[in-house]
Amino acid sequence: MTPTSFRHGTPERTAVLLVNLGTPDEPTPAALRRYLAEFLGDPRVVEIPRAAWLPILHGVILRTRPAKSAAKYASIWTPEGSPLAVWTQRQAAGLQQRLGAGVLVRHAMRYGNPAIPQVLDELTAAGATRVLVLPLYPQYAASTTATANDAVGAWLARQRRQPEVRFVNHYPDDAGYIAALAAQVRSHWQQHGRGQKLVMSFHGVPRRTLELGDPYHCECHKTARLLAAQLGLGKDEWVVTFQSRFGKAEWLKPYTEPTLIQLARDGLKRVDVMCPGFPADCLETLEEINMEVRAAFVQAGGREYHYIPCLNDAPVWLDALADLAQRHLQGWPLAETPAAERALQRERALAMGAAA
């Protein structure tokens, strides 16, 4: 049981913890090895019996994949660091600005740094006794949302004094989120023109997860339908695909790259591609979608491939995120009332009672 840094008399605070997937600390094989060991070692992410999977992970994958992945990360790395880390930090800063000083806002990564336990320790040390956990996963999946919740739960199990905790599990049909996506598409169209078809690529998961009861597949399609409706698209003007396959098992279909190749072969010359399930640009959007899939589309005969960036720190998205947080914070005080003011309120209440 971990002793709490709480001190009696410390003002109680309310906090919001933004959680994203994670990123290596630097684009090197050593950093990727650490990151992938944590990520692919999570039984929520790879649902294969440990006895079968761990020898493959440590004996094969962690010996071969880190160097390849490091090269991919190096191709998108910025002077500020990993794009995912940069955008997530900016989202937290934007949310803090919108919620005001009465709420502590911090961000954490499920894998890598800053780690969830570390940030929760910092929040409780700052007086947080109420924490809203807000994963940056609009669509619920056991391999994303649930594992973030698991990490928070594991931290809670070690605490002597536990804060109140609320979890935002999903928001695939949130009006602000959909409006922010639509604004991002319209802004791109205004600057670059409009393609013949809008491809909405979501992160893939094994098909088995759908059969086991995950709502992820349905929630991706719900987001896509609502976005298409807000953009006024006809049924033949948009398509949903799933990217980032790993291993030999069947994943959710249709797959993104084969779909783009087929569209090019069918004569489609210009396509717009976006990733609605990723609130922040990262390796899977910048390298896989904007580089690898782009090259495949052009090689198959396509001419114009337009990638529409993720929401990142767009003001309309940060406004929607703040609105989402505020709805889930309802009922919690957003700032501790100073002791002197509380005493004055008690005196007034007593005086009113005596007068009555």
Instruction: Write the DSSP assignment of 246-275 as a string of letters.
Output: -SSS-BSSSBHHHHHHHHHHTT--EEEEE-
Sheet hosting strand 13-23, strand order edge to edge = 103-112, 13-23, 128-135, 164-167
Same domain assignment for residues 151 and 226: no
Q: Are residues 324 and 223 in the same domain?
A: no
Query: What is the tally of helices (H) and strands (E) in the chain?
Result: 14, 8
User: What is the number of other CB atoms lying within 10 angstroms of the CB of residue 128?
Assistant: 21
Distances, alpha carbon 282 to alpha carbons 23, 112, 327, in Å: 9, 14, 28
Do 220 and 145 belong to one domain? Answer: no
Tell me if 284 is assigned to a ligand binding site: yes
State the CATH number of the domain containing residue 132: 3.40.50.1400
**Rounded to two decimals, what is the model's pTM?**
0.91
Domains identified in the chain, total number: 2
Let me know whether 261 and 183 are in one domain: yes
Tell whether 288 and 186 lie within a shared domain: yes
Domain for residue 59, yes or no?
A: no
Query: Is position 328 annotated in a ligand binding site?
Result: no
Does residue 206 sit within a domain? yes
Compute the CA torsion angle 336, 88, 97, 104 (nearest 10 deg).
Answer: 10
Per-residue pLDDT of the chain (356 residues; tens, 9 = 90+): 666 555 666 789 999 999 999 999 999 999 999 999 999 999 999 999 999 999 999 999 999 999 999 999 999 999 999 999 999 999 999 999 999 999 999 999 999 999 999 999 999 999 999 999 999 999 999 999 999 999 999 999 999 999 999 999 999 999 999 999 999 999 999 999 999 999 999 999 999 999 999 999 999 999 999 999 999 999 999 999 999 998 888 999 999 999 999 999 999 999 999 999 999 999 999 999 999 999 999 999 999 999 999 999 999 999 999 999 999 999 999 875 444 444 444 555 455 455 54
* Domain presence at residue 33: no
Domain containing residue 226: 175-307
In a domain, residue 355? The reply is: no
Q: Quick one: 85 and 156 in the same domain?
A: yes
199 in the same domain as 183:
yes
Long-range contacts of 350-355 (CB under 8 A, 24+ apart): none
